Chain A
Amino acid sequence: MDLLNRIDEVRAQLQNDIQQVGADPQAAENLRIKYLGKKGLISVLFADFNSIPAEQKPQIGRVLNILKKDAEARIQALSEKLKATSSQDEFFDYSLPGLTPAVGHLHPITQTLNRVIAIFREIGFVVEFGPEVETDYNNFQALNFADDHPARDMQDTFFIDEKRLLRTHTSPIQIRTMLKKKPPIRILAPGRVYRNEAINPRSHCVFHQVEGLYVDENVTFSELKTTLEVFAWRFFGADVKTRFRPGFFPFTEPSAEMDISCFICAGKGCRLCKYTGWLEILGCGMVDPNVFKNVGIDPEKYTGYAFGMGIDRTALLKYGIGDIRLYFDGDVRFLEQF
């Protein structure tokens, strides 16, 4: 057998022996004899070394020497360790703190969004994206916001120029998708949105939304309700109650708001729900025929529903966060809790 291979083998054997040593204080001495004694395994290798060809000697000699030094050092260390252990009466402090891995934390908005998306993906929604800088057409006109209608006041807008703005909702992704694809369409559109509103504990000018859209023949308001009820139960818990009431969005009609029974007070009334027993969770409705006309879909043949919710606010409710500005500070004492 080749000498180098034998060296490797002895190294492996030593490694193995050291790992198997128990608390016997004699063990180190036994190993010393086994490997470094006169007839020890390493001594035998040195004896055989003398008989190899001269040109191989520098290289193999170096490897053999490393093995010997390594063996001496490790057996010495073992011996010291065993002595120390025996003197401490084998004291093992199991209470020493564990050595924790360096863990990173995903932002609560990411985690909330992922949860929402996971639920809707299970029922066949596909994620679509769109740009944050949008055209006035995609953000407003195509969504049936008339130029001078007070509905525009609901969404104070940051403008870049005459035609472009920062999207005020993720709804333009509806328009982009319907212009690109024919029904059936079943999408979920998450993203960052902007409103020109003063920053305070309850609202920020930058926030995140997720929007859903389903267009096909025979999509009904009744099915919209089921879809959102499933979501509410899965996300907030099976014991929450839902309530639908009329709302107003220019791009859906009929429009509705879905509330869930307050999960803090179970509907009895508390500060979180402003003593109404209900929490406003999302807006929804049937796609307005004008929106269909704007994207070239026949509103007599197809019907559809859309819904949208603020992720920041939902996370606020879900985690009991009191101030929306915490999302943007990057305080690790905040992030580490999620």
Chain B
Amino acid sequence: MIVNTNWLKKYTDYSYSAEELAERLTAIGLESNLIPDKAAGLEEVLIAEILAVNPHPNADRLTVCIVTTGEKQFAVVCGAPNVKKGLKVPLALVGSTLPNGMILKPIKIRGVASEGMLCAEDELGISEDHSGIMILDENAIVGGRLADYLASNDRSLEIDLTPNRPDCTSHIGVAREIALMTGNELYKPDINLSESESATSAYISVGIEDQIGCPRYAARLVQGVKIGPSPDWLVKALASIGQRSINNVVDAANYVLMETGHPLHTFDYANLKGQKIVVRRAKAGEKVVTLDGIERELSDDILLICDGERPVAIAGIMGLANSEIEKDTRDVLIESAYFNPRIIRRGSRYLGLQTEASYRFERGADYEGAIYALERGAELIAEVAGGRVCRGVVDEYPKPIESPKIVLRYERTNRLIGMKFEPEWVKKVLVGLGCDILNSNAQEVAVRVPSWRPDLEREIDLIEEVVRIYGMSRVPSTKTLQMIPNISTDDRYDRIEKLRSFMATCGYSELYCNSLVSARATEFGFEPVKPVKLRNPLSQDMTFLRTSLIPGMIAAIKHNFNRRRFDLRLFELGHVQAYAPEEETQARESLRLGALLTGYFDEPNWAYPRRKTNSFILKGLADTLAHEFGVCNLNYSKAENLFFKRLVKISAGKKVLGYFGELAPDYLGKDWDIEEPVFGMELDADFLLKQVNLAKIYKEPPVFPSTERDLSIVVKCEILVGDIMKKIRQNGGDLLREIRFYDLYLGKNVDKNEKSLTFNLLFQADDRTLTDAEVDQIMATIHSNLSRELNARLR
């Protein structure tokens, strides 16, 4: 919504500057921004006329324009396509300053000196337009300043209205708010109609078939108008708020809309058949051509204005082409109605069509103000287009709407806001808003709210008005804050934070990936799930909710590869959604932890060799996480999956904690055009977080020294190291505290089908120093078990 400062002054007096007005309106809830003054910064730009356009000797696309400021001629090199002899254009001479602060310097363009620059609108800061030189009106004064040409003493404000304030979609509405602040009077223009002998009712009758959709329909006829251009004041008024002039009748209706906020519609009476207006619902599938020339199919939510035979307008949204005002229109029927906001909104959404009219009707127009707007429209049309206003209005208003009666309690107001308001001041505000005071005492005041404020329905709405007009910034802040002695805890947040920080500590950087993904991305996963689909996606590749974090994370890897970053350690903690196989309707949300590795794990350095990443770094991460978050008895087993070359399933008891492995080169190649190996892991973070015990209990470290022994054996290749370690643990008894596997050897001196393994074993007792004999005894048991069950040989 755009309002103009001078236009506003027609309805109330105020002395605020434009800047101050914007600030004050913002403070009472009408967020206003000043539209930049077009003339600012253009004091040194002149108006010139092009005398000749000569080709540039060295460049086909450039021209050398000879321009005059009346006294002097200048040669200016120009690249714009729209220069022509006789045009009046803005000229910045060498040495002058442009609005962006740039001072024009002497310049040679492709060998020809240019004495200045012909400017496009963007160079002048007027608009973003750079398609060509700005062309000025023929009557622009050559040699004059562009600033004077553009100057006007009024400014315009753009108001970002909240949806609850239809009353402020007009100059009178905004003026009412200004009057509330200044205490000055609000005056609506008086109407002086000279009516003709013929009565409107002799020419038109109105029948409302849908009284829910259209509670009120009023009309008036103006005969014998002459369609033509609007007078200058009207063109300028509309231009000041960014509206184009169309013709005198349409402009007059538009002016009334911008003045009162009430949409009027104008019909060419000659094209209305049967001398009647019927308001009815459309039939589903019914087709009409709106005045923008588009054929539209309607639904039965849409309200139609019809004549005796056919639809002539989509109520409250747009007129139809068959009855619009044309050049030869003589008689104009003006419509001023009140339509049901919900029905207009449904229709406007169905058609995907928002207009100045629908914007206001769907927020709630003024049902009582309809007649004032109609009279004002008739008066103005007669004034600017001639014609005779027919006597009386036709006003179908079968069940007059009564605006609500509301009681405001002072104590309640004070208790909610936290300060004391003076009852007298409160009443003054309510009256200023347009409320009628029905009765009042020391405790409360009862009012009837005005018809233009459909948002005022309850006591709380009036309390809001009181604090809004008082000024929210003026409400004092309390000196203290109340606290609740709280025993409920929010561990989950702490745990999530612990998990995140732990991952960062382990060297992984955090990703936030889009949770909206393509169908292909939902195929990725470890167990089959049914993805959740959006009914109205933004685009094809964002149709589903992700079922795994990994595809989004691979996209991030690809993004980094494209920027030549090849060593990556990344993680994400985020939600995935899917329908569980057994329940079709309830999507299940789960928190996942994803980790991806590729390239080298270490930074390049001068001291150590760098480690290539591999799956076992992820396995080690899983072990460490499990330990840190209190998950016991991890189990690893081999798994199969199309997307992985090698995949390992991690379980804790019966529960699957997650998977890790090397992504399949085939998948990386085809889907992502990635050739380097990438390793990935995805864990059930909900499970991990459930286990965490943030309370730790300290255990004394052992007092007695430990004993270490190495164990080197040779076994068949296919025997799993994990199985050997399990056997060692089983046979090591309580005194075996740690097993570290630290050497794997294949090759020279070892048979092709065998491998040589070395373990370091640590023994310790809590109550004594172990003797060699004791440890030897255990080692002997381990040896004999390994050789018996796994055919292991000592080395």
Interface of A with B (CB < 8 Å)? 2, 4, 56, 59, 96-97, 99-107, 109-110, 114, 117, 123-124, 126-129, 131-133, 147-151, 153-154, 158-161, 164, 166, 184, 186, 192, 194, 196-199, 205-206, 216, 218-223, 225-227, 229-230, 243-248, 253-257, 274, 276, 286, 288-289, 303, 327-333, 335-336
Does residue B141 face the partner (Cβ distance < 8 Å to A)? no
Contact of A160 among B164, B461, B484, B532 (CB under 8 A): B532
B510 touches A335 (CB 8 A): yes
CB distance from A238 to the nearest CB of B (A): 15
Per the bound structure, the CA–CA distance linking A80 and B415 in Å amounts to 86
Contacts A127-B492, A205-B538, A330-B511 known; A222 to B559 CB distance under 8 Å?
no
Q: How far is the CB of A149 from chain B (nearest CB, A)?
A: 7
Q: Across the A-B interface, how many residue pairs have beta carbons closer than 8 Å? A: 243
Q: Which residues of A contact B416 (CB under 8 A)?
A: 220-221, 286, 303
The interface bits of chain B over 169-210 (1 if a CB of A lies within 8 angstroms of the residue's CB, else 0) are 000000000000000000000000000000000000000000
- Which residue of the partner chain B has the closest CB to A151? B163
Q: A4 to B533: give the CA distance in the assembly, Å.
A: 70
Q: Which of B528-573 contact A (CB under 8 A)?
A: 532-538, 542, 545, 553, 555-557, 559-560, 563, 565, 568-571
Contact between B417 and A104, CB atoms less than 8 A apart: no
Give the distance in Å from the alpha carbon of A216 to the alpha carbon of B569 in the complex: 47
Given contacts A127-B493, A226-B477, A333-B565, contact A159 B535 (CB under 8 A): yes
Most chain B CB within a 10 A radius of its CB, from A229, A274, A276, A332? A332
Query: Is B473 engaged at the interface, CB distance under 8 Å to the other chain?
Result: yes
CA–CA, A173 to B568, complex, Å?
36
CA distance A126 to B489 in the complex (A): 7
On whether the beta carbons of A245 and B26 are closer than 8 Å, the reply is yes
Residue of B nearest to A190 (CB): B493
In the complex, B778 has a CB within 8 A of chain A? no
Give A178 Cβ to nearest chain B Cβ, in Å: 14
Provided the pairs A102-B602, A158-B537, A246-B464 are in contact, do residues A220 and B417 lie with their beta carbons within 8 angstroms?
A: yes
Chain A CB within 8 A of B439 CB: no
Q: Do residues B513 and A332 form an inter-chain contact, with CB atoms below 8 A?
A: no
**A330 touching B555, Cβ below 8 Å:** yes
Q: B504–A105 contact, CB under 8 A? A: yes
A131 pairs with B589, CB closer than 8 A: yes
A324 to B346, CA, bound (A): 33
Closest to A259 in B: B26
Contacts of A254 in B (CB 8 A): 417, 460, 463-464, 467-468, 472
Inter-chain pairs besides A158-B535, A216-B482, A223-B482, 4 sampled, C-beta below 8 Å: A101-B507, A244-B475, A254-B463, A289-B458
B residues contacting A by CB (< 8 A) are 26-29, 31, 33, 162-165, 341-342, 345-346, 362-363, 415-419, 458, 460-461, 463-464, 467-468, 472-473, 475-484, 486, 488-490, 492-493, 497, 500-501, 503-516, 532-538, 542, 545, 553, 555-557, 559-560, 563, 565, 568-571, 574-575, 577, 587, 589, 601-603, 605-608, 771-772, 776
Contacts of A327 in B (CB 8 A): 512
A225 to B503, CA, bound (A): 38
Question: How far does the Cβ of B365 sit from chain A's closest Cβ, in whole Å?
Answer: 13
Residue from A132, A158, A247 in contact with B577 in the complex, judged by beta carbons closer than 8 Å = A132
CB-based contact B559/A132 at 8 Å: no
How far, in whole Å, are A196 and B535 apart by their CA atoms in the complex? 11
Look across to chain B and name the residue whose beta carbon is closest to the beta carbon of A4: B772
Cα–Cα, bound, A106→B500 (Å): 7
> Which A residues touch B480, using CB under 8 A?
226
Q: Which residue of A has the minimal Cβ distance to B414?
A: A220
Residues of B within 8 A of A276 (CB): 33
Which B residues are in CB contact (< 8 Å) with A148?
Answer: 341-342, 345-346
Asked if residues B509 and A336 are in contact (CB atoms below 8 Å), the reply is: yes
Q: Which residue of A lies closest to B342 (CB)?
A: A148
A14 CA to B482 CA in the complex, in Å? 66
Name the residue on B nearest A104 (C-beta): B504
Q: Is B509's CB under 8 angstroms from A192's CB?
A: no
Residues of A within 8 A of B482 (CB): 216, 218-219, 223
B contact residues around A149 at 8 Å (CB): 163, 345
- The answer to whether A198 touches B535, judged by C-beta atoms less than 8 angstroms apart, is no
Chain B min CB distance to A71 (Å): 18
In the complex, the chain B residue whose C-beta lies closest to that of A159 is B535
A127 near B490 (CB under 8 angstroms)?
Answer: yes
Question: Which among A97, A128, A227, A330 has the greatest number of chain B C-beta atoms within 10 A?
Answer: A330
CA of A109 to CA of B513, assembled, Å: 12
Given A246-B464, A247-B29, A247-B162, A221 contacting B475 (CB threshold 8 A)? yes
Q: How many angstroms between the C-alpha atoms of A162 and B738 in the bound complex?
A: 58
Q: Across the interface, do B508 and A160 meet the contact criterion of CB distance under 8 Å?
A: no
Chain B residues with CB under 8 A of A96: 606
A residues near B568, Cβ cutoff 8 Å: 332
Cβ–Cβ < 8 Å partners of B504 in chain A: 103-106
A148 CA / B26 CA spacing, docked (Å): 27
Given A100-B603, A105-B504, A110-B500, the answer on whether A332 and B532 have CB atoms closer than 8 Å is no
- The answer to whether B507 touches A103 (Cβ under 8 A) is yes
B419 contacts A222, C-beta separation under 8 Å? yes
Q: Is the Cβ of A245 less than 8 Å from the Cβ of B27?
A: yes
Contact of B514 among A105, A206, A253 (CB under 8 A): A206
**Do A256 and B605 touch (CB < 8 A)?**
no
Residues of A within 8 A of B512 (CB): 107, 109, 327-328, 330
Once A104-B503, A244-B473, A253-B464 are accepted as A-B contacts, the answer to whether A114 and B497 lie under 8 Å apart by CB is yes
B563-A333 in contact (CB<8A): yes
Report A-chain residues with C-beta under 8 Å of the C-beta of B515: 132, 192, 194, 206
Task: Determine which of B165, B415, B460 lies in contact with A288 in the assembled complex, contact meaning CB atoms within 8 Å.
Answer: B460
- Whether B478 contacts A133 by the Cβ 8 Å rule is no
What's the least CB distance linking A256 to chain B, in Å? 5
Q: A99–B29 contact, CB under 8 A?
A: no
A109 to B505 CA separation, bound complex (whole angstroms) = 18
Judge whether B363 and A158 touch: CB under 8 Å.
Answer: no
> Bound complex: CA of A221 vs CA of B417, how far in Å?
5
Q: Is the CB of A225 within 8 A of B477?
A: yes
Q: How far is the CA of A272 from the CA of B545 in the complex (A)?
A: 34
Residue on A with the closest CB to B494? A127
Name the CB-closest residue of A to B587. Answer: A133
CA gap between A180 and B162 in the complex, in Å: 32
Pairs of residues from A and B, 7 with the lowest C-beta to C-beta distance, nearest first: A330-B556, A222-B418, A220-B418, A246-B29, A248-B162, A102-B507, A104-B504
A216 near B484 (CB under 8 angstroms)? yes
Chain B residues within 8 Å of A194, by CB: 515-516
Partner of B493, one of A117, A150, A288: A117
Given contacts A107-B512, A159-B536, A186-B484, contact A329 B556 (CB under 8 A): yes
Q: In the complex where A106-B500, A133-B577 touch, is A330 in contact with B560 (Cβ < 8 A)?
A: yes
Query: With A148-B345, A206-B514 known to touch, is A245 a contact of B31 (CB < 8 Å)?
Result: yes
**Distance of B357 from chain A, by nearest CB (Å):** 14
A335-B509 contact given A158-B537, A248-B162, CB 8 Å threshold: yes
Across-interface contacts of B538 in A (CB, < 8 A)? 158, 196-199, 205
A132 touches B535 (CB 8 A): no
Whose C-beta in chain B lies nearest to the C-beta of A147?
A: B342
Measured between C-beta atoms, what is the minimum distance from B773 to chain A in Å? Answer: 9
| Interchain CA distance A41-B512 in the complex, whole Å | 62
